[in-house]
């Protein structure tokens, strides 16, 4: 359940990132020009680059985490093979720290060690399960998909809206979407839904105004 919640939280954050970054990009370009083609090109390029960046970043990060977990497992295997008595005492001591009496802790440690010593030590000492290591490919794929789904919203909104009001329609749609993703993230994490939604909406509104202003500035001075 914890792993699924973490994956869901990562998907919500990825979608939120896609919404905000792509909205800033297309609104900024729309501030510089009234033409549709530059906005379309910027949107497609941004979606592609953003999805690849998210996937690569997650793959590298999770791969490093998986390598660390494998190193810890190998180290624990060596310690169990070289000094099983000390490892048993260590495990019993960890259970004592959790509030068990010395007698009960020793009994629990002995019983778990008899069943699967490596699994018992990995879970209690390191919080690692050898059978459920993090998967970098899953992380990369989910991050890319979440970014694409989130980023498509502002791109489609600005491309399908009438040119004179496309920025403002996109602005409103994006803020509503950010409120929903902020609330969803808070709900998953057990935080305040209203505060989270307000924070992300205010931050998004300010960010979009800045990018639109930059687009207006460069559109007027360069184009």
From CA 181, how far away is CA 9, in angstroms rounded?
10
Question: Are residue 102 and residue 151 in the same domain, yes or no?
Answer: no
User: What would the mean pLDDT of 110-122 be, rounded to a whole number?
Assistant: 76
Question: Are residue 152 and residue 51 in the same domain, yes or no?
Answer: yes
Question: Are residue 50 and residue 154 in the same domain, yes or no?
Answer: yes
Question: Are residue 101 and residue 139 in the same domain, yes or no?
Answer: no
Q: Per the structure, how many domains does the chain have?
A: 2
Question: Are residue 14 and residue 118 in the same domain, yes or no?
Answer: no
Predicted confidence (pLDDT) per residue in 124-163, tens digit: 776 666 666 677 888 788 888 989 999 999 999 999 999 9
Predicted confidence (pLDDT) per residue in 45-78, tens digit: 999 999 999 889 888 888 888 888 788 788 877 8
pLDDT of residue 157: 95
**Position 11 confidence tier, pLDDT thresholds 50, 70, 90:** confident
Question: Are residue 52 and residue 89 in the same domain, yes or no?
Answer: no
Question: Are residue 162 and residue 117 in the same domain, yes or no?
Answer: no
**Structural domain of 111:** 71-126
Question: Are residue 145 and residue 212 in the same domain, yes or no?
Answer: yes
Question: Are residue 145 and residue 117 in the same domain, yes or no?
Answer: no
Using CB atoms within 10 Å of the CB of residue 4, give its burial: 0 to 12 exposed, 13 to 18 middle, 19+ buried. Answer: exposed
Boundary-marking domain end, from 103, 126, 149 = 126
């Amino acid at each position: 359940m914890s792993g699924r919640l973490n994956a869901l939280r990562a998907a919500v954050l990825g979608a939120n990132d896609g919404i905000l970054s792509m909205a800033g990009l297309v609104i900024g370009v729309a501030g510089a020009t009234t033409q549709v083609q530059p906005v379309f090109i910027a949107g497609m390029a941004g979606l592609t680059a953003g999805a690849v960046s998210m996937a690569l970043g997650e793959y590298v990060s999770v791969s490093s985490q998986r390598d660390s977990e494998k190193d810890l497992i190998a180290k624990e295997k060596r310690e169990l093979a070289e000094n099983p008595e000390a490892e048993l005492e260590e495990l019993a001591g960890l259970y004592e720290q959790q509030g068990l009496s010395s007698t009960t802790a020793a009994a629990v440690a002995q019983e778990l060690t008899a069943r699967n010593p490596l699994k018992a030590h990995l879970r209690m000492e390191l919080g690692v399960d050898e059978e459920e290591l993090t998967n970098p490919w899953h992380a990369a794929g989910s991050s890319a998909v979440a970014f694409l789904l989130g980023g498509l919203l502002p791109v489609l909104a600005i491309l399908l809206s009438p040119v004179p009001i496309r920025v403002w329609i996109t602005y409103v749609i994006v803020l509503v979407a950010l409120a929903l993703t902020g609330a969803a993230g808070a709900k998953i994490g057990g935080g305040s839904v209203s505060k989270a939604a307000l924070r992300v909406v205010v931050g998004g509104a300010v960010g979009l105004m800045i990018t639109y202003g930059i687009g207006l500035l460069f559109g007027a001075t360069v184009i």
